[in-house]
A and B are shown apart, each in its own frame.
Chain A
Amino acid sequence: MKKKKMLLSQETMDIDMVRKVEALSGTSVRRCFQCGKCSAGCPMATFMDHPPNRIVRLLQLGQWQRILAGRSIWYCVSCETCSTRCPNQVHLASIMDALRKLSWDQDGPSKESYVQLANRLFLENIRTYGRQYEMRLAAVFNVKSGQFLKDMLLGPKLLSKGKLKVFHQKNKNMAEVEKIFSRIEEMRRKGEAL
């Protein structure tokens, strides 16, 4: 994020987007009273520019652009500690999911591309094979992220232990799997789903 100061104003405030976050996550950001328990227990808070409680505060103020400009949402590991410990039933882990979805829709894979790339390849594998194909997931990730040598020493070891399956059979019900993906795409095109 650039060191540009973002002031709180009508210009940077977007309440519609906050409503989308609330609808997607099924949780209300207004319930948060900033006790900070989420940030205290978050294993990833040290890696983030905005700690979890500040993410909610920024949402309360309609400043979601500022969240998307930062990296916090791509460092959340979905451990559910925040949702568990919140005294006001704010499901912050679900809010993080909603923010990642909206960021993905808005900016595509441009930001924090390694995490997005991993997510996208994971979903592609489901659409193509029905189940995860771990060998392909790791190999394609390394090629597409340009890290050809990443974890290279692990590969042969995992193969010898039978932990990587070189060949992978597609599910028999692939037509049904494809329909789930295409129906969701169609619902989104028609504006029936976020």
Chain B
Amino acid sequence: MTALRYSYYPGCSLHASASEYDLSTREVFASLGIGLEEIPDWICCGATPAHNVDELLSLSLSAKNLELAEQVPGDMAVACASCFSRLKFAQHILAENETKRKLVEKAIDAPVHLERRVKHLLEILVRDYGLEQLATAVKKPLSDLTVACYYGCLLTRPTDVPNLDCTEAPTIMEQVMEAVGAQTVAWTHRLECCGANFTLSRPPVVQQLSNGVLESAKTAGADCIVVACPLCHGNLDIRQKEIEGVYETSYGLPIFYLTQLVGLALGVPQERLGLDALIVSPQRLLRDKKIN
């Protein structure tokens, strides 16, 4: 097998509030011998705010990023669910709507590049690297750990855009977690919204929706939740304590990025996976489950 290599689009959150996702992604890829080269000068994808009020701007920002990606060889690897969704949306809309494509080409003053394959980390691990090989690379299986895999909105929806997995019953995250030895639970809220970017403008909405997610995972018997999106992470981890206060309950559920758990199973020391950046400390859980 020739060595896998990717052009890497981390996105804004991974350079700030989700730096542990960036750190652990790089560690996992290095540990598996997968090449990862950051796209120089990538710009913000515009996320939800841009398409919410200005679709042309949103499409143009993604088209610009696809153009910038031409500097680095390899399929594009994306960690953030929102960046992933915006890039896939742009490719989808620009391929089928000629009017919009022409407007975007005028806005970025360049032809749009639609050929590059944009891949989420999950599909790189499952389809490119392979589950069997991943299982072989595991040094410390997470055998005692029961995880709730949380997809949220943008990894799988809508049907014809991200094409990551089945829209209503995805299993790709469970496949990765099981390959590294963890147990996964069936639960009701794995595809429900956490409140996303309303965290800035309407925190009470986020508290209500995220409370549903935390409650469902806890009821299903999970020790922790695993996510692949910085916004989901922020809402479930950073706001967990205030949610417990508002709803007079206690969850104490550590929220991991998927690469942090994969990294632990691959034997990467936990200080290199940014576990100390988590607000809900996972230390007691990791001790109890004899991980690391």
Interface residues of A (CB under 8 A from B): 24, 26, 43-44, 47, 75, 77-81, 83-84, 91, 93-94, 97-98, 100-101, 104, 114-120, 122-123, 125-126, 130-132, 134-135, 137-138, 141, 150-151, 154, 157-158, 161-165, 171-173, 176-177, 179-181, 183-184, 187, 192-194
Contacts and interface: CB of A to CB of B under 8 A. Distances in A.
A126 B54 CA distance: 13
Interface size range of chain B in the complex: 35 or more
Given A100-B53, A151-B203, A192 B12 contact: no
A80 B153 contact: yes
Interface SS of chain A: helix
Nearest to A153: B242
A115 B48 CA distance: 11
A47 B201 CA distance: 14
A163 B53 contact: no
B158 A123 contact: no
B142 to A, nearest CB: 24
Nearest to A112: B201
A162 B19 contact: yes
The 8 closest A-B pairs by CB, nearest first: A132-B12, A80-B157, A122-B49, A79-B153, A79-B193, A119-B49, A83-B158, A118-B201
Contact of B157 (A43, A81, A120): A81
A171 B41 contact: yes
Contact of A161 (B41, B51, B193, B276): B276
A83 B85 CA distance: 14
B118 interface: no
B209 A180 contact: no
A163 B97 contact: no
A79 B157 CA distance: 8
A173 B200 contact: no
Contacts of A132: 12-13, 16, 44, 47
Contacts of A172: 41
Contacts, number: 166
Contact of A180 (B108, B203, B205): B108
Name the residue in B48, B52, B53 with the highest tally of chain A Cβ atoms < 10 Å from its Cβ. B52
Contacts of A154: 238
Nearest to A98: B55
Contacts of A78: 48, 51-52, 153, 196
Contacts of A187: 103, 106-107
Given A134-B17, A176-B64, A183-B107, A171 B43 contact: yes
B137 to A, nearest CB: 28
A184 B201 contact: no
B103 A192 contact: yes
A111 B139 CA distance: 55
B154 interface: yes
Contacts of B153: 78-81
Given A80-B157, A83-B158, A97-B55, A131 B46 contact: no
B202 A115 contact: yes
A105 to B, nearest CB: 9
A11 B201 CA distance: 35
A44 B205 CA distance: 9
Contact of A163 (B41, B168, B205, B277): B277
B158 A138 contact: no
Name the residue in A123, A154, A158 with the highest tally of chain B Cβ atoms < 10 Å from its Cβ. A123
